[in-house]
Structure 1
Amino acid sequence: MTMLDAPPARTLNSLGFAKPPRETRVVAAMSGGVDSSVVAAMLKREGYDVVGVTLQLYDHGAAVNKPGACCAGQDIHDARRVADAMGFPHYVLDYESRFRSAVMEDFADTYLAGATPIPCVRCNQTVKFKDLKRVAEDLSADCLVTGHYVQRLEGDGGPELHRAADASRDQTYFLFATTHEQLSYLRFPLGGMPKSRVRDLADELGLRVAAKPDSQDICFVPNGKYQDVVEKLRPGAIEPGEVVHVDGRVMGAHNGVINFTVGQRRGLGIATGEPLFVVKLDAPNKRVIVGPREALGVSRIALKEVNWIGEQVASEDDLNGREILVRVRSTREPVPAKLAIDAGWSVLLDVPEEGVAPGQAAVFYDPRTTRVLGGGWIMATQ
Structure 2
Amino acid sequence: MKVLAAMSGGVDSAVAAARAVEAGHDVVGVHLALSRMPGTLRTGSRGCCTIEDSMDAQRAANVIGIPYYVWDFSERFKLDVVDDFIAEYSAGRTPNPCMRCNERIKFAALLEKALDLGFDAVCTGHYAAIVTDADGNRELHRASDWAKDQSYVLGVLTAEQLAHAMFPLGATPSKAEVRAEAAARGLSVANKPDSHDICFIPDGDTRGWLAERVGTATGDILDRDGNRLGSHEGAHAYTVGQRKGLNIGYPSPDGRPRFVLEVRPVDNTVVVGPKEALDIAEIAGSRFTWAGLPPADAATPFTCEVQIRAHADPVPAVACVRDGELLIRPDVPLNGVAPGQTAVVYVGTRVLGQTTIDRTVSAVPA
- 1:346 corresponds to 2:346: no
Tell me how far apart the structure 2 counterparts of residues 268 and 62 of structure 1 sit (CA, whole Å): 35
Instruction: State which structure, 1 or 2, has the greater radius of gyration over its C-alpha atoms.
Output: 1
Q: Which amino acid aligns with 1:330?
A: A
The structural deviation recorded for 1:331 is: 2.1
Q: CA RMSD in A?
A: 1.6
The structural deviation recorded for 1:266 is: 2.1
Matches of residues 184-333 of structure 1 in structure 2 within 5 Å?
Answer: 184-193=163-172, 194-234=174-214, 236=215, 238-270=216-248, 271-272=250-251, 273-309=255-291, 311-313=293-295, 316-317=298-299, 320-333=300-313
After superposition, the Cα gap between the structure-2 partners of 1:223 and 1:312, relative to the gap in structure 1 and judged at 3 Å, is closer
What's the TM-score, normalizing by structure 1? 0.88
Deviation string, structure 1 residues 299-344 (Cα, Å, up to 9, x no partner): 0112121012354456642xx3111100112221111111143222
What's the TM-score, normalizing by structure 2? 0.92
Check whether the contact 2:298–2:320 (CA below 8 A) recurs between aligned residues: no
Check whether the contact 1:257–1:286 (CA below 8 A) recurs between aligned residues: yes
Corresponding position of 2:364 = none
| SS of structure 2 residue aligned to 1:85 | helix
| Aligned positions, number | 353
Tell me how far apart the structure 2 counterparts of residues 65 and 263 of structure 1 sit (CA, whole Å): 30
Q: Which amino acid aligns with 1:174?
A: V
2:143 to 149, 164, 180: 164
Q: Which amino acid aligns with 1:212?
A: K
Corresponding position of 2:336 = 355
Corresponding position of 2:314 = 334
Corresponding position of 1:103 = 81
Q: Which has the higher contact order (CA 8 A, sep 6+)?
A: 2
Q: What percentage of residue pairs aligned between the two structures are identical?
A: 43
Q: Which amino acid aligns with 1:218?
A: I
| SS of structure 2 residue aligned to 1:190 | coil
**Which consecutive residues of structure 1, in runs of 5 or more, have no partner in the other structure?**
1-23
Check whether the contact 2:162–2:291 (CA below 8 A) recurs between aligned residues: no
The structural deviation recorded for 1:60 is: 4.5
Check whether the contact 1:60–1:73 (CA below 8 A) recurs between aligned residues: no
**Which consecutive residues of structure 2, in runs of 5 or more, have no partner in the other structure?**
362-366
The structural deviation recorded for 1:162 is: 0.3
Check whether the contact 1:59–1:72 (CA below 8 A) recurs between aligned residues: no
Q: Which moved more, 1:273-282 or 1:176-185?
A: 273-282
After superposition, the Cα gap between the structure-2 partners of 1:37 and 1:310, relative to the gap in structure 1 and judged at 3 Å, is closer
Tell me how far apart the structure 2 counterparts of residues 123 and 334 of structure 1 sit (CA, whole Å): 23
After superposition, the Cα gap between the structure-2 partners of 1:311 and 1:130, relative to the gap in structure 1 and judged at 3 Å, is closer
Check whether the contact 1:278–1:288 (CA below 8 A) recurs between aligned residues: yes
2:152 to 173, 176, 181: 173
| SS of structure 2 residue aligned to 1:134 | helix
Tell me how far apart the structure 1 counterparts of residues 38 and 5 of structure 2 sit (CA, whole Å): 24
The structural deviation recorded for 1:56 is: 0.3
- 1:48 corresponds to 2:30: no
Corresponding position of 1:11 = none
Check whether the contact 2:42–2:50 (CA below 8 A) recurs between aligned residues: no
Corresponding position of 2:97 = 119
Q: Which moved more, 1:91-100 or 1:303-312?
A: 303-312
After superposition, the Cα gap between the structure-2 partners of 1:60 and 1:191, relative to the gap in structure 1 and judged at 3 Å, is farther
Tell me how far apart the structure 2 counterparts of residues 240 and 339 of structure 1 sit (CA, whole Å): 40
- 1:78 corresponds to 2:59: no
Corresponding position of 1:128 = 106
After superposition, the Cα gap between the structure-2 partners of 1:60 and 1:81, relative to the gap in structure 1 and judged at 3 Å, is farther
| SS of structure 1 residue aligned to 2:357 | strand
Check whether the contact 2:56–2:189 (CA below 8 A) recurs between aligned residues: yes
Check whether the contact 1:173–1:363 (CA below 8 A) recurs between aligned residues: yes
After superposition, the Cα gap between the structure-2 partners of 1:261 and 1:129, relative to the gap in structure 1 and judged at 3 Å, is same
Check whether the contact 2:34–2:72 (CA below 8 A) recurs between aligned residues: yes
